[in-house]
Amino acid sequence: MARGNRKKAYAARSRNGCQACRIRHIKCDEAPGSCINCRSAGWTCDYDYNVHKLPRTASASVSTTAAAAADISDIATRGLPMTADERRCFSYFQHRLIASLTGLFDAPFWQQRVLQLYRYDAAVFHAVNMLSAVHEECEEHGMQMSDAVLCTERVRLFSLQQSTRAVALLARRLASHDPQLRSIVLLCCLLFVLADVLRTHYHRAWMHLRSGLRIIAELETHGQLDSVDPSLIAVFRRLDIQASLYGAASHPILCTDNTLPLDRLLPPCDGPPFTTLDHAQEVLASLLERGIPFISTVLALFPTKPVAQSEYASLHLTQGRLLSAFTQFAERLALFTSTHVLVTEKHRRGAHIMHCLTIGQILVLRTCLFQGPVPPSFIPEYRAVLEAHESHLAGFSHRPTLVLNHGVIANMYVLATRCPDISLRVRAIRLLRAWPHYEGLHSSSIAALLALDILRKEYTFLDSSLQITAEENLFLVHFLRSVQNGTHSCSALNSVVCTKYYTALLNRMA
């Protein structure tokens, strides 16, 4: 047989080699330290035998990952084969991250729409890969990742590479007239916010969040809000009102119609309490959009200056209206759950967490105007709120680590810092520590550490299990610095390089 007719034996191509060999389309020998190809040619080799790939989980086998990755369209990968790390991130996003984001309530936006965009849009593809890598690494560190607790170099470089590609692809599409562009930009903006929050880079998360909110505000001004998925806008609204609790004076940015009477947000008294559990969730979200900014205003006002009698009277009037609305909601939610069969465990859990949110919000509203310590007469109410949250957590075996709904963190933080009974405060701190997770911008670990730090200043002798470790202290300090830097510089939108494509999109809409 002629030598030229012999077939070359097929061998699977390794994706673990150095970047230099992959760019030059030659096989990397993967020699420890530096590969032979790079040493002989005088190239700089980035291959390290001791640096592992993105960590595998027991639930994501090689065959499962390969089968899932086969569904990815060439549109998302630009006709290029997916790398091993990208396949890993796709499997993680599909089987772990979506399950976490929908852990409290069903969310078709994540379960269907985002997954569809991930398959067919390159910018979303890379942005989701970035978030998946960061979230998995954050879970490895017990949801306490920051510059003080660094992620592995390979994960850091991979997430940076994916975010850079997403930004470049978005910038390239700004001149197009794609009707989906605004939704894509807003979704990527949200993914950047979540990734920065998980890394405790709140100063960067603030800039991405304000950019996304500014786009939504412009769309609302021009009557184009219908072009964006309502679920995506709802997430931004929740993050907007959460940001008001971190000292960002300009939040909330999105308009809330405060002139609308609160009872108009509730279903009519002569009709059924709610049509569905989703309907109840929407009503509660509308009430929280009015209640949380009010609490934020009170918290920012009282420590800084004496409150005039006329101003206090206005606050007291608003407090009474909010209390009435939340009390009516609690009654109708109780009537709904007693007259409707909640089939799934998630529905029952969702109804329970809405009950916890409501009674917690009522207690916070009742005590927020006290400028000194809360009277001991409120201890039974604090105990009832704590026991409701403990009951919720006891029946929650598969706890998500990242959700975008309001949950237990805010109520437990207030209880852990304001309750007159120290034993209840300690129980609230332990509850926060028992479930390390994020609820939008809120971190249960941060809330527990802040409350514990306040408790240590008030009481010298505490149980050894309530001590703050050196790593936790560094994590807390990094968080405080990041939030402080973010709230001071969040208005300087145009000076941020990473938000150029937001500004360009706004200029096109003007």
Q: Which residue in 221, 220, 205, 211 sits closest to 185, CA to CA?
A: 211
Consecutive 10-residue averages of pLDDT for the chain (510 residues): 54 64 77 74 64 46 44 53 85 92 91 87 93 93 78 82 92 82 93 95 91 91 88 94 76 71 79 86 93 87 66 89 95 91 87 96 94 92 96 88 94 95 94 95 94 85 76 86 68 35 48
pLDDT score for 231: 92
Q: Which two tokens stand for residue 371?
A: 């400028």
pLDDT score for 430: 94
132, 163 contact by CB (below 8 A)? no
pLDDT score for 275: 87
Residue 442 host element (H or E):
strand 442-443
Q: 133 and 272: one domain?
A: no
pLDDT score for 64: 43
Domain encompassing residue 133: 83-236+494-509
Domain final residue pick, 356, 372, 388? 372
Residue 439 host element (H or E):
strand 438-439
pLDDT score for 292: 92
pLDDT score for 304: 57
Q: How far apart are the first and last CA of the chain?
A: 71
Q: Which two tokens stand for residue 135?
A: 């979230």
pLDDT score for 459: 79
pLDDT score for 57: 47
Q: 128 and 171: one domain?
A: yes
Contacts 24+ apart (CB under 8 A), 473-477: 474/146, 474/148, 474/149, 475/144, 475/146, 475/148, 475/149, 475/200, 475/445, 475/446, 475/449, 476/446, 476/449, 476/450, 477/148
pLDDT score for 381: 97
306, 241 contact by CB (below 8 A)? no
Q: Which residue in 388, 422, 384, 421 sits closest to 407, CA to CA?
A: 388
CA separation (Å) from 212 to 56, 70, 240, 443, 507? 33, 32, 10, 21, 14
232, 186 contact by CB (below 8 A)? yes
Report the CATH number at residue 20.
4.10.240.10
Q: 182 and 301: one domain?
A: no
Domain final residue pick, 372, 402, 425? 372
**Hey, is 34 helix, strand or coil?**
coil
Q: pTM for this structure? A: 0.81
Q: 266 and 212: one domain?
A: no
pLDDT score for 208: 93
Q: 277 and 182: one domain?
A: no
Q: 114 and 181: one domain?
A: yes
Q: What is the total count of domains within the chain?
A: 3
